[in-house]
């Protein structure tokens, strides 16, 4: 039989030649590649050390580049191939980096209905502002610490939390305070006649905030200020005349992205306040924003009167830094669920939401008809 003669001839070839032939055949056929993977898993499984050191490692650089020892341009060759593969992975319109839902268990200490804002620290902790408390969690969603804090917004560094509290005076003054994780006040910043909100930290120790006319409730006078994160002294002030209803901010690389809500666009500034560009797209009233690596995650403001927005407030748009929509995310079981806040944390996008449970309403349970929850999406 031809197959037998072929087998006999192949059996006479050296092992390395057979390995090269198998690799070439498998590379040209995804089906054959899958069969080869199954065969290798059954007959020669990966060592425990390789699994732990490479497959489960958050940093592959030492494992891949270390053995090369930068000889004969080997490192440069690997990096070039790496870069080409990375670009191919992210090519629109169907990039392979897509958000997928993963399980998430919210600690009992945190009531999902009270979650106002979420943020993450550079050292990998999650900070949740819920009602009159700020909770600090680790990557396993275990509450490490709870700080009593009546505030309207929160942002955090490795050793400090920053929060806003309105002072009910004739000037509608807002007091911004910097406190350590044990609640000790370290510095304060008072802005008479204006409100502060939607803060974000940037490298170099800058804390950016939106300011708006709290006396006249005039969102057309929105500006951005940058404070020194240690002393809360004013460093920059910019954006007047460009912003109308500014909301959440995001820092990606050396740029600050601002939700210019009522102008239906994003404004991009340098970290010193230079306006670089405006980004518009197939969205309306951008309100929620966060960034990770070379992606932006955007949520729209809910507006039932605007028929141009499909499911207003009910979708999260995954954007390139140029504003291209790479993916549209809605609640997996209830597309009408409204997203309230979003945050990039531990390789996941966390999104708090509220939805109406028709089944509970039909049972005559009006209090149970509104359901709050948290969604976790991996793939940042």
**What's the structural domain count of the chain?**
1
Residue 93: is the preceding peptide bond cis (ω within 30°)? yes
Structural domain range at position 350: 112-378
pLDDT on residue 1: 45
Choose the weakest-confidence range: 84-98, 112-126, 167-181, 183-197. Answer: 167-181
Average pLDDT over residues 162-185: 60
Tokens of 310: 């499909």
Asked if the model's pLDDT at residue 285 lies above 70, the reply is yes
Is 68 within the bounds of a domain?
Answer: no
* Coil vs helix vs strand at 358: helix
pLDDT on residue 225: 92
pTM of the model: 0.71
Cβ atoms 145, 123 nearer than 8 A: no
- Give the residue with greater pLDDT, 5 vs 120: 120
> What CATH number corresponds to the domain at position 263?
2.120.10.30
Residue in the structure block whose two tokens are 């899958």: 34
pLDDT digits (tens, 9 = 90+) for 52-69: 666 556 566 666 667 766
Is 298 within the bounds of a domain?
Answer: yes
Q: How far apart are CA 64 and CA 62, in angstroms?
A: 6
pLDDT digits (tens, 9 = 90+) for 136-155: 899 889 998 888 776 667 78
Is 98 within the bounds of a domain?
Answer: no
- Give the residue with greater pLDDT, 257 vs 313: 257
Terminus-to-terminus CA distance in the chain, angstroms? 53
Angle (CA) 248 95 51, round 5°: 100
Is 294 within the bounds of a domain?
Answer: yes
């Amino acid at each position: 039989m031809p197959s037998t003669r072929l087998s006999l001839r192949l059996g006479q070839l050296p092992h390395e030649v057979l390995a090269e032939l198998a690799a070439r055949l498998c590379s040209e056929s995804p089906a054959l590649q899958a069969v080869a993977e199954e065969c290798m898993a059954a007959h020669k499984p990966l060592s425990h050390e390789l699994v732990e050191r490479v497959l489960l490692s958050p940093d592959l650089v030492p494992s891949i580049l270390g053995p090369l020892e930068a000889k004969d341009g080997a490192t440069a060759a690997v990096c070039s191939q790496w870069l080409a593969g990375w670009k191919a992975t992210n090519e629109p319109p169907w990039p392979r980096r897509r958000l997928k839902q993963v399980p998430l268990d919210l600690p009992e200490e945190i009531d999902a209905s009270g979650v106002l804002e979420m943020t993450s620290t550079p050292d990998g902790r999650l900070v949740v502002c819920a009602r009159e408390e700020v909770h600090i969690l680790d990557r396993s969603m275990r509450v490490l610490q709870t700080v009593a804090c009546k505030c309207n917004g929160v942002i955090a560094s490795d050793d400090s939390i920053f929060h806003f509290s309105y002072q009910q005076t004739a000037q509608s003054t807002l007091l911004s305070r910097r406190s350590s994780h044990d609640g000790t006040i370290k510095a304060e910043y008072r802005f008479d006649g204006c409100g502060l909100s939607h803060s974000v930290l940037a490298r170099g120790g800058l804390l950016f905030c939106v300011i708006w006319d709290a006396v006249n409730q005039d969102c057309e006078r929105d500006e951005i200020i940058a404070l020194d994160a240690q002393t809360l002294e004013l460093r920059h002030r910019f954006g007047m005349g460009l912003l109308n209803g500014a909301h959440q901010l995001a820092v990606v690389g050396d740029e600050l992205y601002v939700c210019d809500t009522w102008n239906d666009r994003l404004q991009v500034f340098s970290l010193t306040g230079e306006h670089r560009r405006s980004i518009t797209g197939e969205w309306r009233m951008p309100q929620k924003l966060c960034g990770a690596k070379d992606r932006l995650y955007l949520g729209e403001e809910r507006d039932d009167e605007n028929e141009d927005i499909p499911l207003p407030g009910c979708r999260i748009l995954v954007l390139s830094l140029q504003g291209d929509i790479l993916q549209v995310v809605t609640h997996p079981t209830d597309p009408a669920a409204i997203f309230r806040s979003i945050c990039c944390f531990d390789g996941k996008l966390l999104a708090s939401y509220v939805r109406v449970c028709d089944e509970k309403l039909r049972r005559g349970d009006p209090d149970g008809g509104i359901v709050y929850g948290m969604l976790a999406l991996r793939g940042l």
